Amino acid sequence: MSAIRFAVKVGSLGVVLVAATDQGVCAVLLGDDALELEQDLARRFPRAALVRADEELASLIDRVVALVDDPRRDEELPLDLRGTAFQQTVWQALRRVPVGTTVTYTELAEAIGLASTSVRAVAGACAANAIAVAVPCHRVVRADGSLSGYRWGVERKRVLLAREGVVIRGASGGTGVLPGF
DNA sequence: GCCAGAACTCTGG
DNA sequence: CCAGAGTTCTGGC
């Protein structure tokens, strides 16, 4: 199919990879190593021809990096959401979440018309999300307010939320697995 | 091509 | 504490 152009740049959170088609941004990946991100991109789009175009996408990746540095900027990027109908429904519901706010998987499931017991389907769709930050899958937390898993690392998720001004409640009343506070 | 199991979880008995 | 609920993907036969 069509060619996907991508660019890599180092930001405050580490390495940022941005991939785009003619329609818009189709992937934003975060990591520590540029090679690792390229392999991740190739795994997600096995059929596409991946072309590196750092200069062509320079202005675009600058905007994405600025968004990672300061997520409170509600910048509107052209997105090319690739996925099943179910996944796109979940991702568009995610984009309605205001900056500095978090939702639970239950609220997300109800927002798209599923039963509250279908949270695992929502979690699966979030895990398949390829567009970090622009599709704020990091704003989804567990029902008790503590962080759950994250494709690109829980530490990165915590940093992103902290920059938005979100107060993270540690899991209370339990055995205190997290030594943080 | 089919079946089984896992993956960013939550609720009810 | 244990099991089940909707969807997608991957690996083994």
User: What are the tens digits of pLDDT across the range A17-36?
Assistant: 999 999 999 999 999 999 98
| Displacement of CA A128 from its chain's centroid (Å) | 10
Task: Show residues, CB within 7 A, near nucleic chain C.
Answer: A 43, 83-87, 114-115, 117-121, 123-125, 128
First to last CA, chain A: 50
When pLDDT is cut at 50, 70 and 90, the band that residue A149 belongs to is confident
pLDDT tens digits along A37-81: 998 899 888 888 999 999 999 999 999 999 999 988 877 899 999
- Give the separation between CA A14 and CA A12, rounded to whole angstroms: 6
Is A84 in contact with A76 (CB distance < 8 Å)? Answer: no
Mean pLDDT of A153-178: 74
Token pair listed for A40: 């991740």
When pLDDT is cut at 50, 70 and 90, the band that residue A1 belongs to is low
Query: Which residues, 6 or more positions from A37, have their beta carbon under 8 angstroms from its beta carbon?
Result: A8, A15, A17, A29, A30, A31
What positions of strand C are covered by protein, i.e. any atom < 7 Å from a CB? 4-10
Between CA A10 and C1' C10 the distance (Å) reads: 32
Is A52 in contact with A7 (CB distance < 8 Å)? Answer: yes
Between CA A60 and C1' C4 the distance (Å) reads: 45
Active site residues of A: 137
Is A24 in contact with A76 (CB distance < 8 Å)? Answer: no
pLDDT (0 to 100) of residue A171: 53
In the predicted structure, residue A161 carries a pLDDT above the cut 70: yes
Is the model's pTM score more than 0.85? Answer: yes
- Give the separation between CA A85 and CA A77, rounded to whole angstroms: 21
Q: Give strand letter and number of the nucleotide nearest A126 (CA to C1').
A: B8
Average pLDDT for chain A: 88
Between CA A84 and C1' C7 the distance (Å) reads: 10
Phi-psi region of A155 (alpha: psi -120 to 50; beta: other; left: phi over 0): alpha
What positions of strand B are covered by protein, i.e. any atom < 7 Å from a CB? 7-11
Residue nearest to nucleotide B12 (CA to C1'): A117
Between CA A8 and C1' B1 the distance (Å) reads: 40
Mean pLDDT of A132-153: 90
Between CA A116 and C1' B11 the distance (Å) reads: 8
Distances in Å between the Cα of A42 and the Cα atoms of A3, A31, A151, A176 are 12, 15, 16, 39
| DSSP string computed for A57-86 | THHHHHHHHHHHH-TTS-----B---S-HH
Q: Give strand letter and number of the nucleotide nearest A151 (CA to C1').
A: B8
In the predicted structure, residue A119 carries a pLDDT above the cut 80: yes
Q: Give strand letter and number of the nucleotide nearest A137 (CA to C1').
A: B8
When pLDDT is cut at 50, 70 and 90, the band that residue A170 belongs to is low
